[in-house]
Chain A
Amino acid sequence: MKLSGWGRYPVLEAQVHAPRSLEALSALVRSEPELIARGNGRSYGDSAINHKATIAMGHLNRMLAFDPASGQLVAEAGVLLADIISVFLPRGWFPMVTPGTKFVTLGGAIAADVHGKNHHADGSFRSCVDWVDLLGADGEISRCGPRLDSDIFNLTLGGMGLTGVIVRAAIRLRPVESAWVRQTTLKAPDLRSAIKAFEDGHKATYSVAWIDCMGQGRHLGRSLVMMGEHALRHELPAEKARAPFRTSARPQMSVPFDLPGNLLNGLTVRAFNAFYYAAGAGGRAQQLVDWDRYFYPLDAITGWNRIYGSGGFAQFQCVLPLERSEAGLRALLAQTARAGSGSFLAVLKRMGPQESAFSFPMEGYTLALDFPMNRKTLALLERLDQITIEHGGRFYLAKDSRMTAATLEASDNRVADFRNQRHSRGLASRFSSAQAKRLAL
């Protein structure tokens, strides 16, 4: 069947298997010459597509054990963060690290070593993983963790499923007193003030900025920086404190068909941006936001990826080292604004130190932009790649759909080691994706 990632580009033909049991999965790994596991298809490009065998992990989605003393949850890889939240938030637990959508699987979160708005404080998803059960090329399961077979654990976190099939994991959840987040929004008139807001706000549990990438000249980098804290029960108004985990269900909207691809031209994006910026007027605003609106604003619109039309879209996400972040961001934003092709969403985030062999994050600033997929975008992305490399940055493979192997190699000196490890461990020929082939991993 035809498969694509969340960006709907590229669309590739693939043989899909959906095993219902570990035995069936193991038999597939033993018999298929090459394969890749696929979670909920929320990586943007071709990370989770293998033409010969793509293993849909959605049926292996059982939660196996929970220890309320430590907050440790053991679950199969196909479980969604959304399910974990719906079961455990009412009991006072929330994922320690979550990306911007709750519709990712546990296995996908580990493979991409996802990060959230608390990366500066808590690190990537890896920080909450106690161990991973990995199905190797021999069809056998072995357990790895930060202190147990840590080499393969390091390679697996951020390893994009290329070290074996993640079948189970133990993660620690975070105790919370309510389902609410205290959000403080700061208006930053330019890039320097945005960076200052992040640096001043390093003690905040969560921080992220929406950045107006149409801003040019003295407006370059103007943003809304949003800080957040899990609200304690006594911080809630009385009527909410009575049932601190109850939030009203959000109205779910959907995009039922592809919108015309040119809808989001520079003008509409400019209008949208100006509106959004004005809505944040007042310099500093505090509000109480429910977890779903705070962490997953776009999840309320089912199929929001269709607003870019049938051609799909590309997401660009890089991270720049701290000392060169400001210069690099300035160059990236100026280039984007000049192209005028409009990024509907531009997200800036301060990242903290990162431990791992192949995970995306590093201490510095990460910028995420998205664009309708077309020739002009592809050319722009090449220029953004170059700027990133010139500033010592690297790229998020979970977002990538079009980078070249040479670009990856130039951006990341860990590539050769990752590739060598895959070869020496006999993983390279068995676990592979369209992305792995494109990037020569």
Chain B
Amino acid sequence: MTKPPVLLFGARSDIAKALAHRFALDGRALQLAARNAASLESDRADLELRYGVSVTLHEFDALATDTHADFVRQLPELPEIAVCAVGLLGVQVDSERDTEPAVRIMRSNYEGPASILAVLANSFESRQSGTLVGISSVAGQRGRASNYIYGSAKAGFTAFLSGLRNRLAKKGVHVVTVLPGFVATQMTDGMRLPPALTAQPAEVAAAIAQAVARKRNVIFVRPVWRLIMTVVCSIPESLFKNMKV
């Protein structure tokens, strides 16, 4: 018996790729959604060859929110689990100078992800089952000078996920919020990140698979991040505003 598929948005990202391997290892069929989906053909071949699961590719643009309802309607099979790994870090200084890059970051991290999960949520709600996973960020826990555009969008997404979870809790649909902390991905290539605080994509994937299986609500991948964010969030604003963090 084949298990119902897992749908991955932003399938080209390192975290989504790690998730694809993790879920395929469990024998799950995969639906990979991304822009220019045809370029994921090698990944499709690889996943099918390694794990003997079926993998389909789906053209998806997170920012084209007017296409999201059709996207879900046209899926060959409604997935059991959907993970949104869409995100854009951007360059904060560009966003301070210009509205265009700022809006792009806001839309990529909040509007697009929330829009597609909202559509899926309704389908899952009618079916009365399924798990939605949103990859948000610790940057959304408190605005910081160095990345508050990105952080504010992630804050919005975190609040969206929490509200959605609250709404669907009695409808058989579960929502997981993932706050990964630093992850060694393309997004952070070239940054000097402290190794003890930096997870590998495979670690994030394992944590997500476990959170889905155990119906966890909000997860940090490395537990130390829960402590760090508790401290960061407890600093009074009058002090925080003068700190270099």
Contacts and interface: CB of A to CB of B under 8 A. Distances in A.
A and B are partners in one complex rather than unrelated chains: yes
Contact of A62 (B12, B14, B42, B189): B42
Contact of B186 (A20, A62, A66): A20
Interface string A54-67: 00000100111110
B189 A87 contact: no
A76 B49 contact: no
A18 interface: yes
A18 B14 CA distance: 12
Sorting the interface of chain B by its residue count into under 10, 10 to 19, 20 to 34 or 35 or more gives 10 to 19
B45 interface: yes
A62 B44 CA distance: 9
Contact of B49 (A18, A21, A59, A87): A87
Contacts of A59: 14
Given A63-B46, A87-B50, A21 B39 contact: yes
Interface in B49-63: 49-50
B46 to A, nearest CB: 4
Given A18-B189, A20-B12, A20-B186, A64 B39 contact: no
Contacts of B39: 21
A356 B84 CA distance: 50
A46 B38 CA distance: 38
Interface string B22-54: 000000000000000001001101100110000
Contacts of B189: 18
Interface in A15-48: 18, 20-21
A62 B42 CA distance: 7
Contacts of B45: 62-65
Nearest to A17: B189
Nearest to B39: A21
Nearest to A66: B49
Interface in A385-406: none
A87 B49 CA distance: 8
Contact of B43 (A18, A62, A66): A62
A76 B186 contact: no
Among A20, A62, A65, max chain B CB count under 10 A is at A62
Contacts of A18: 186, 189
Interface in A61-92: 62-66, 76, 83, 87
A33 B39 CA distance: 28
A320 to B, nearest CB: 42
Given A20-B12, A21-B39, A65 B186 contact: no
A336 B49 CA distance: 48
A331 to B, nearest CB: 45
B42 A76 contact: yes
A19 to B, nearest CB: 9
B42 A64 contact: yes
A7 B46 CA distance: 32
Contacts of B50: 63, 83, 87
Contacts of B46: 62-64
Contacts of B42: 62, 64, 76
Interface string B73-113: 00000000000000000000000000000000000000000
Interface in B163-181: none
A423 B8 CA distance: 47
Nearest to A61: B46
Contacts of A65: 45, 49
Contacts of A83: 50
A324 to B, nearest CB: 47
A57 B143 CA distance: 36
Nearest to B43: A62
B200 to A, nearest CB: 11
Nearest to B48: A63
A18 B201 CA distance: 14
Contacts of B43: 62
Nearest to A84: B50
A21 B186 CA distance: 12
Nearest to B189: A18
Contacts of A62: 42-43, 45-46
Contacts of B49: 63-66, 87
Interface string A212-241: 000000000000000000000000000000
7 shortest interchain CB distances as A-B pairs: A62-B46, A62-B42, A63-B49, A64-B45, A87-B50, A63-B46, A66-B49
Interface of A: 18, 20-21, 59, 62-66, 76, 83, 87
Interface of B: 12, 14, 39, 42-43, 45-46, 49-50, 186, 189
16 contacts: A18-B186, A20-B12, A20-B14, A21-B39, A59-B14, A62-B43, A63-B46, A63-B49, A64-B45, A64-B49, A65-B45, A65-B49, A66-B49, A76-B42, A83-B50, A87-B49
Given A63-B46, A66-B49, A87-B49, 9 more contacts: A20-B12, A20-B186, A21-B39, A62-B45, A62-B46, A63-B49, A64-B45, A65-B49, A87-B50
